[in-house]
Each structure stands twice: as C-alpha cells, then as structure tokens.
Amino acid sequence: MTTLMQQEIFSEPTMMKRTIKACKPVLPEIYKAFKERGITNILTLARGTSDNAATVFSFVCPIVTGIHVGLYRPSLTTIYNKDIDMKHTCMVVISQSGMSKDTIAVTENAIKNGAMTIAVTNNEDSPVAKMADFHLFLDVEEEKSVAATKTYIGELFALYMLTSTLSGNFEVDYYDKLADRIQEILDLTPTIKDVAKKLQNSKDAIVLSRGTMLGTSDECALKLTECCYIFSRSFATSNFMHGPLSLLDETANVILLAPKGNCVAEFTTMAQRAKAAGANLTVFSNIPEVLECATNAVAMPDADIFEAPVLYGVAASLLALNIGLAKGLNVDTPRNLNKVTITL
C-alpha cells in the first residue's frame, strides 16, 4: 500500500519547482528592504522540522553572505515576556502552517520591536504569512502525512534562495537543477529499503554529521523518533567526541551522514572508531573510506556542501518511511501527534 508519506516524498522533484516559482518574485523586494533598513543580522524562529531547516540556514547563509544567523528562543516572549531590540534585525519565521500560537505571538512582538520579518510557510492565509513584511510561499500543496517531508525540503529551497538573494544573486537555474537531482535519491529507494529492514528492530539510534549537514542530521533523528518510535539523538561529530563517545560499543546503532567536503577526515575517523567499537554502523556517504567501515551502506551521489543537506534529507525521510513500514506502523499518523502542534 502506498502511504501519504511516500507519495509526498516522491512528489518532491515536482513540488520544488513550485517552490522556486512561488519564491522568485519576492526575492528582489527582500534584497532592497535589507539594504534600505540596514539589516545587520538575522534571527530564525521555528520549531521541530522547521527548526532543523533553520539550522541548515544558520550555516549556509553566513558561509555565502557573511551575515550571522542566530536562533530566537520563543520562551523569551511567551514565558518571560521580554522585549528585545530588533531595529537592525531580520526575523525569518519558518513554519509549515504559520498557525502555531507561539509563532504568531513572537512574530507580533518582533514587529513591535522593530524587526523586518520574512515568513516561510506553506499557508498563504496563515496569520504569520499575512503579518510578515514578506512571505516566501512553499506552494508544495497540502501535506497530509503528519511527518513533514516535502515541506522540509521546500523550506531548504526557500531559505537557500533567500541566501542567494542576500548575496546579490537572483538566478534560479541552480535550484531547478537541484530539484531534478532529488530523483537520484528516489532511485536509491530499493537500497534504502534493504537497509531499513536491517534496522527495524532497533530501539535507539545515534545520528552523526557536521556543518551544513547538522540540521539534516537533526531531521533524520526526528523522523526516526516520530515515525519509527526509535529513540534517536543527533550529534555533531565534533561534539560527540566530548563525552557521548562513551556510548560506542557493540550494542550501539550509529547512522553517519557523511558527504565529501570539509569534514572528510573527521567523518572517516568517526567511521573507523565506530567500526572498531563493534557498533552497528549505517552510512550514507560518497567517501570510499567511510563506506568501507559500514555495517550497512548507502552509496550517495556526489554533492557539494549546499546540495548535500537536501539530498541526504530526502534519503533520511526514505529511511524513516521504510523502517516504519517494516515495523508495521502507520507512518502517516504517528501516535500522540497532530499536524499543527500547540506550544508556548
């Protein structure tokens, strides 16, 4: 039986073309407003999957533009009722629905305190989309599965396009090609399905990566938790060395997302240490030395430091989908969860 989650993952190459088309007209206006308002820094407001997209953005945007991206803690507004001076700040509000009460409250407070606001949502009629100065509309159609998949990838596309814009680049050819490349990951479904069957009895998992990949590592852990009921924790490989390394033994399930790039040596060392400890090591990588260490391996296509979070993000969704199905779970409606989560 085809699940909604599967349908939504496989729609991503087409849906991302919609995201590109919807966001493109707004970008020059954002660039102009940044210059006119003297914006010097960016804060993101997001939770869950959207916060994982924000983490990717917090690496990509400074690398490309030199503009620092920080994380705003909603409780500063909703619990502590604190006003923060935001006259030279742009708050990027990332929310699939744009309807969570805390997101609305913080956006309102940011506007009151002088922030320029950009909403990144999949709902044009949401309060957040309507109150923000600018709206980057994902336009990926309604996501009916509770677990966000196509919206995570859509958020990355919108945030990447925002990054390019802030560097003065308004071309979208790169993003059209990246949307097409998602099919390369969908074609790996049989391999990922085989790996998923080997992990279906796992009770926990450690997910590792670093840098621009860290948000997608977090997203992988989240998907394994919500769709497969596997207690998962994501670590940067650098932070994993500071204490959590003690978890490595023959009972450990480790998932390493390791694309070529700036962290090849670190990923290779981590894979070797996990193998030496006897861990059950599942690797998504295009680094031969890393793949050689794996108990379970998915050979990934080449990708640069910006493409990798998207392509590995699709692979992570496929892994969670297929582990959940192998467990006999309803991946579309995980227990205790709703599509719109109410928090403070």
Question: What is the domain range of residue 278?
Answer: 188-326
Evaluate whether 154 touches 16 at the Cβ level (below 8 Å): yes
Final residue of a domain: which of 181, 205, 240?
181
pLDDT above 70: residue 66 = yes
C-alpha span between 17 and 152 (Å, rounded) = 14
The pLDDT score that the predictor gives to residue 332 is 86
The pLDDT score that the predictor gives to residue 338 is 62
What is the total count of domains within the chain? 2
The pLDDT score that the predictor gives to residue 258 is 98
Predicted confidence (pLDDT) per residue in 276-290, tens digit: 999 999 999 999 999
| Lowest mean per-residue pLDDT among 87-91, 145-149, 236-240 | 145-149
Predicted confidence (pLDDT) per residue in 5-24, tens digit: 999 999 999 999 999 999 99
- 208 shares a domain with 144: no
C-alpha span between 255 and 266 (Å, rounded) = 15
- 17 shares a domain with 102: yes
- 110 shares a domain with 239: no
Whichever domain contains 264, its CATH number is 3.40.50.10490
Tokens representing 197 are: 């069957």
Tell me if 337 is assigned to some domain: no
* Strand-pair partners of 91: 43, 117
Predicted confidence (pLDDT) per residue in 218-255, tens digit: 999 999 999 999 999 999 999 998 888 888 999 999 99
C-alpha span between 113 and 127 (Å, rounded) = 18
Provide the 3-class DSSP secondary structure of residue 338: coil
- 298 shares a domain with 227: yes
Indicate if the alpha-carbon torsion angle 169, 23, 314, 179 is positive or negative: negative
- 220 shares a domain with 139: no
Max Cα separation, the chain?
Answer: 58
pLDDT above 80: residue 339 = no
Closest CA to 287 of 264, 314, 270: 264
Evaluate whether 321 touches 188 at the Cβ level (below 8 Å): no
Amino acid at 46: A
Query: What is 220-260 written as a DSSP string?
Result: HHHHHHHHH--EEEEEEHHHHTTTGGGG-STT-EEEEEE-S
pLDDT above 90: residue 334 = no
Evaluate whether 238 touches 269 at the Cβ level (below 8 Å): no
pLDDT > 90: percent of the chain: 90
Tokens representing 277 are: 């400890």
Evaluate whether 224 touches 232 at the Cβ level (below 8 Å): yes
pLDDT above 70: residue 34 = yes
The pLDDT score that the predictor gives to residue 204 is 96
Closest CA to 197 of 40, 109, 321: 321
How many Cα atoms sit within 13 Å of 161 on the Cβ side? Answer: 33
Closest CA to 155 of 308, 262, 15: 15
Final residue of a domain: which of 163, 181, 199?
181
Amino acid at 263: C
Q: What is the pTM for the complete model shown? A: 0.95
C-alpha span between 12 and 180 (Å, rounded) = 9
Predicted confidence (pLDDT) per residue in 163-194, tens digit: 999 999 988 899 999 999 999 999 999 999 99
